[in-house]
């Protein structure tokens, strides 16, 4: 079970510019193309060193983007002004929210129309009050006046709400544009703004002390190949300005670096003061301590995909991001998952309430029916079951001290004329709500125990498997728990549920029974209950999940809370 910091937690259930008329710029482009041709011809005679080949591909992509871009570029190479960035943000805002300007125009038109009608009605009202012979017209005049005033207030409210949403979106886009202007060093001779890497790489920015960067470097080792396949590049920014240990020649044994690791960690921030100011500003807006280490994940198109306090969830990146064809094709730019939509800042904020929020997200291509079961003697939550279509999400509040299970039901049929049922995870009530009933195996379970200062959570495959599931803590130093692979593809025939293709994978206990497989009777102790060949199938596929009853050594995650007065929120992805 994982222990999370006292912050919000989410729970996931898986299933630029170049003008060729400038001689200097044109000469630089030609010189680059000549170098590229030379490297290309050399490649036919001998194998280019992997790091050189990667750098050549990346540099050529950036030069090509500059050559064919439509943005004006001054001969003096002046930096973009804030007004330029603001104009770009406005254009992006129009693209993201089409017809907003049209709606706002009509709101203003209706306000003007109502105000004009109201003025005319007021003159009629004054005339009626001054002339006793027109007193019979007063009810009709007052009715017209109330309609005009009501229309003015209604459309003013709609306009104000639309304008507020526009300003919030512009502020967010402006911060992203400011981020896009920060410079990165690719190698000793190449410095580019983040904007030039749009469509080329998914950046993960780490900001914290050198010790935090070094530990993140170690944690990413097992996921290096998967991250590179998904176009991920890491930007380490040491806020204490200390030298990173994996850059030191004396630490090569402690931090072994091969060519793939160099590619993943090759980018370096330029102009430290600008980077520090931008990051500190976001932390202040998010009411996050300036000393807290944070990470920021960007999409291929440069928008912020997610962020948080603590170590980045490398395994979640590999599980959620689609691989790119070749390495930098950019064909799947729009499939990076949800874009961070917080209205306040690019870094999540901590909630002051001592409750935990479970955000259940359906990333499957089909509809699921999540179920929730509270522990013995613990009150039920506001809902115990509901429908969740593909791409939808729902948040549920849980009080401190709550414990229980969450799971996903599949292939459900609910009809008012007869009791409903689900092919996997059915809780037996015949209704969408489980009402205190647990799931029938096989099913993937998310288990939680919420405390005042520590939370415990895990993903259990003890009762079998039906869907991939990942738990992420949004705040504090929370580890990622879960099973992000399709175990059904690796399920032994004797454990499969379903004839043609497995729809779920049963546990050995559910399939065969017996004390040995169920860890009961004389095997009801850690000394006697050992992993079996069947439990190893689950453990090999999902090493961070429970695979049998006494698999506590790897299945339970425990993480100290970073904020002792705030609960962790969990996100659950399907």
The answer on pLDDT for 31 being more than 70 is: no
In a domain, residue 138? The reply is: yes
In a domain, residue 51? The reply is: no
* pLDDT category of residue 316 using cuts at 50, 70 and 90: confident
Q: H-helix or E-strand containing 155? A: helix 138-180
* pLDDT category of residue 53 using cuts at 50, 70 and 90: very low
Question: Residue 152 and residue 118: Cα distance in Å, rounded?
Answer: 9
Range of lowest pLDDT (149-158, 232-241, 286-295, 559-568):
559-568
Domain that holds residue 6: 2-10+359-573
* pLDDT category of residue 157 using cuts at 50, 70 and 90: very high
| Proportion of the chain above pLDDT 70, given as a percent | 70
Phi, psi dihedral angles at 122 (to 5 degrees): -65, -40
| Token output for 353 | 């309430």
324 Cβ contact list (under 8 Å, min separation 6): 229, 230, 231, 330, 331, 332
Query: How much is the pLDDT for 372?
Result: 94
Question: Residue 231 and residue 365: Cα distance in Å, rounded?
Answer: 24
* pLDDT category of residue 443 using cuts at 50, 70 and 90: very high
Q: Which of residues 388 and 63 earns the better pLDDT score?
A: 388
Question: Residue 103 and residue 89: Cα distance in Å, rounded?
Answer: 19
* pLDDT category of residue 547 using cuts at 50, 70 and 90: confident
| Proportion of the chain above pLDDT 90, given as a percent | 15
The answer on pLDDT for 85 being more than 50 is: no
| Token output for 298 | 């960007």
Residues 307 and 381 occupy one common structural domain: no
The residue out of 180, 212, 241 marking a domain boundary is 180
Range of lowest pLDDT (58-62, 229-233, 321-325):
58-62
Check residue 27 and report its DSSP letter: H
First to last CA, the chain: 19
Residues 442 and 334 occupy one common structural domain: no
CB 299 within 8 A of CB 330: no
In a domain, residue 167? The reply is: yes
Residues 330 and 369 occupy one common structural domain: no
In a domain, residue 282? The reply is: no
The residue out of 180, 215, 250 marking a domain boundary is 180
The answer on pLDDT for 153 being more than 90 is: yes
In a domain, residue 445? The reply is: yes
Residues 146 and 168 occupy one common structural domain: yes
Give the pLDDT confidence of 176-220 residue by residue, as tens digits: 777 878 889 887 778 888 888 888 889 999 999 888 888 888 888
CATH of the domain at 314: 3.40.30
Query: How much is the pLDDT for 529?
Result: 84
In a domain, residue 312? The reply is: yes
Residues 333 and 376 occupy one common structural domain: no
Task: Specify the number of domains making up the chain.
Answer: 3
Residues 166 and 315 occupy one common structural domain: no
Give Rg (Cα) of the chain.
29
Closest CA to 396 of 362, 368, 432, 357: 357
Q: Which of residues 4 and 444 earns the better pLDDT score?
A: 444
Give the pLDDT confidence of 213-239 residue by residue, as tens digits: 888 888 888 888 889 988 899 999 988
Query: How much is the pLDDT for 386?
Result: 93
Residues 298 and 445 occupy one common structural domain: no
* pLDDT category of residue 158 using cuts at 50, 70 and 90: very high
The answer on pLDDT for 159 being more than 50 is: yes
Mean pLDDT (whole number) for 524-541: 85
Average pLDDT of the residues of the chain: 74
Mean pLDDT (whole number) for 340-345: 35
Give the pLDDT confidence of 371-430 residue by residue, as tens digits: 999 988 788 888 999 999 888 888 888 887 888 999 999 999 998 788 899 999 999 999
Neighbours of 319 (CB within 10 A): 21
Strand order across the beta sheet in which 202-208 lies: 232-238, 202-208, 294-298, 304-309
Which residues are paired to 489 by β-bridges? none
Give the pLDDT confidence of 462-485 residue by residue, as tens digits: 889 999 988 887 666 677 888 888
Residues 483 and 410 occupy one common structural domain: yes
The answer on pLDDT for 342 being more than 80 is: no
Question: Residue 67 and residue 289: Cα distance in Å, rounded?
Answer: 42
CB 569 within 8 A of CB 15: no
The answer on pLDDT for 36 being more than 50 is: no
Query: How much is the pLDDT for 72?
Result: 34
The residue out of 180, 211, 233 marking a domain boundary is 180
Question: Residue 368 and residue 386: Cα distance in Å, rounded?
Answer: 9
Give the pLDDT confidence of 278-311 residue by residue, as tens digits: 888 888 877 778 888 888 888 887 777 777 778 8
In a domain, residue 510? The reply is: yes
The answer on pLDDT for 19 being more than 90 is: no
CB 455 within 8 A of CB 448: yes
Question: Residue 421 and residue 454: Cα distance in Å, rounded?
Answer: 36
Query: How much is the pLDDT for 167?
Result: 78
Q: Which of residues 545 and 533 earns the better pLDDT score?
A: 533
* pLDDT category of residue 561 using cuts at 50, 70 and 90: very low
Question: Residue 53 and residue 262: Cα distance in Å, rounded?
Answer: 13
* pLDDT category of residue 95 using cuts at 50, 70 and 90: low
CB 464 within 8 A of CB 441: yes
Q: Which of residues 273 and 67 earns the better pLDDT score?
A: 273
Query: How much is the pLDDT for 155?
Result: 92
Phi, psi dihedral angles at 89 (to 5 degrees): -65, -40
Question: Residue 553 and residue 534: Cα distance in Å, rounded?
Answer: 18
215 Cβ contact list (under 8 Å, min separation 6): 311
Phi, psi dihedral angles at 569 (to 5 degrees): -100, 140
Query: How much is the pLDDT for 86?
Result: 56
Q: Which residue spans within 175-252 are E strands per DSSP?
A: 183-187, 190-193, 202-208, 232-238
Query: How much is the pLDDT for 253?
Result: 53
In a domain, residue 77? The reply is: no
Mean pLDDT (whole number) for 455-460: 84
Query: How much is the pLDDT for 330?
Result: 47
Residues 564 and 416 occupy one common structural domain: yes
- Taking the mean position of all CA atoms in its chain, how far away is CA 386? 23
Q: Which of residues 78 and 441 earns the better pLDDT score?
A: 441
The answer on pLDDT for 527 being more than 90 is: no
Question: Residue 439 and residue 426: Cα distance in Å, rounded?
Answer: 5
CB 388 within 8 A of CB 381: no
Give the pLDDT confidence of 498-517 residue by residue, as tens digits: 766 678 999 888 888 888 88
Residues 561 and 465 occupy one common structural domain: yes
Residues 529 and 418 occupy one common structural domain: yes
CB 549 within 8 A of CB 535: no
Query: What is the SS3 string spanning 229-273?
Result: HCCEEEEEEECCCCCCHHHCHHHCCCCCCCHHHHHHCCCEEECHH
Phi, psi dihedral angles at 423 (to 5 degrees): -70, -40
Range of lowest pLDDT (67-81, 154-168, 428-442, 493-507):
67-81
CATH of the domain at 435: 2.60.110.10
Residues 450 and 535 occupy one common structural domain: yes
Strands 355-362 and 570-573, sheet pairing: parallel
Which residues are paired to 415 by β-bridges? 418
């Amino acid at each position: 079970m994982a222990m999370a910091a006292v912050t919000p937690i989410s729970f996931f259930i898986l299933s630029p510019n170049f003008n060729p008329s400038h001689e200097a710029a044109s000469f630089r482009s030609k010189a680059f193309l000549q170098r590229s041709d030379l490297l290309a011809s050399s490649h036919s005679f001998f194998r280019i060193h992997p790091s050189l080949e990667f750098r050549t591909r990346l540099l050529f992509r950036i030069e090509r983007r500059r050559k064919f871009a439509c943005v004006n570029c001054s001969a003096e190479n002046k930096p973009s002004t804030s007004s330029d960035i603001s104009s770009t943000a406005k254009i992006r805002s129009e693209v993201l929210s089409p017809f907003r300007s049209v709606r706002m125009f009509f709101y203003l038109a209706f306000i003007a129309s109502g105000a004009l009608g109201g003025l005319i009605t007021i003159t009629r009202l004054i005339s009626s009050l001054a002339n006793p012979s027109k007193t019979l017209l007063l009810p009709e005049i007052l009715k017209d006046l109330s309609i005009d005033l009501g229309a003015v207030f209604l459309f003013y409210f709609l306009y104000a709400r639309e304008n507020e949403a526009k300003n919030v979106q512009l502020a967010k886009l402006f911060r992203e544009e400011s981020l896009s202007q920060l410079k990165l060093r690719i190698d000793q001779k190449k410095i580019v703004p983040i904007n030039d890497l749009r469509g080329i790489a998914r950046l993960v920015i780490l900001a914290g002390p050198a010790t935090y960067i070094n530990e993140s470097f170690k944690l990413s080792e097992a996921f290096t190949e998967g991250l590179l396949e998904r176009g991920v590049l890491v930007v380490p920014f040491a806020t204490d300005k200390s030298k990173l240990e994996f850059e030191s020649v004396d630490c090569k044994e402690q931090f072994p670096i091969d060519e793939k690791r160099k590619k993943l960690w090759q980018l370096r921030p330029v102009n430290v003061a600008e980077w520090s100011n931008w990051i500190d500003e976001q932390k202040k807006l998010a009411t996050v301590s300036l000393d807290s280490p944070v990470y920021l994940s960007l999409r291929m198109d440069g928008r912020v995909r997610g962020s948080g306090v603590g170590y980045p969830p490398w395994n979640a990146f590999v599980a959620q991001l689609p691989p790119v064809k070749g390495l930098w094709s950019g064909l799947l730019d729009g499939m990076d998952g949800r874009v961070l939509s917080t209205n306040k800042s690019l870094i999540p904020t901590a909630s002051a309430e001592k409750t935990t929020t479970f955000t259940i997200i359906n990333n499957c291509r089909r509809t699921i029916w999540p179920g929730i079961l509270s522990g013995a003697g613990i009150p039920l939550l506001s809902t115990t079951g509901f429908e969740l279509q593909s791409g939808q999400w729902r948040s549920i509040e849980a009080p401190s001290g709550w414990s229980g299970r969450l799971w996903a039901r599949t292939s459900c049929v609910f009809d008012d004329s007869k009791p409903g049922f689900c092919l996997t995870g059915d809780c037996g009530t015949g209704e969408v709500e489980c009402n205190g009933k647990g799931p029938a195996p096989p099913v993937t379970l998310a288990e939680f125990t919420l405390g005042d200062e520590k939370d415990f959570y895990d993903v259990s495959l003890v009762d079998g498997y039906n869907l991939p599931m990942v738990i992420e803590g949004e705040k504090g130093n929370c580890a990622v728990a879960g099973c992000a692979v399709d175990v059904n593809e690796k399920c032994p025939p004797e454990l499969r549920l379903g004839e043609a293709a497995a729809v779920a994978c049963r546990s050995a206990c559910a399939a065969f029974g017996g004390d040995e497989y169920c860890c009961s009777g004389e095997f009801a102790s850690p000394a006697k209950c050992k992993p079996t060949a069947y439990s190893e199938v689950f453990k090999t596929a999902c090493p961070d999940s429970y695979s049998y009853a006494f698999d506590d050594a790897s299945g339970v995650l425990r993480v100290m809370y970073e904020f002792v007065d705030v609960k962790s929120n969990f996100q659950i992805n399907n």
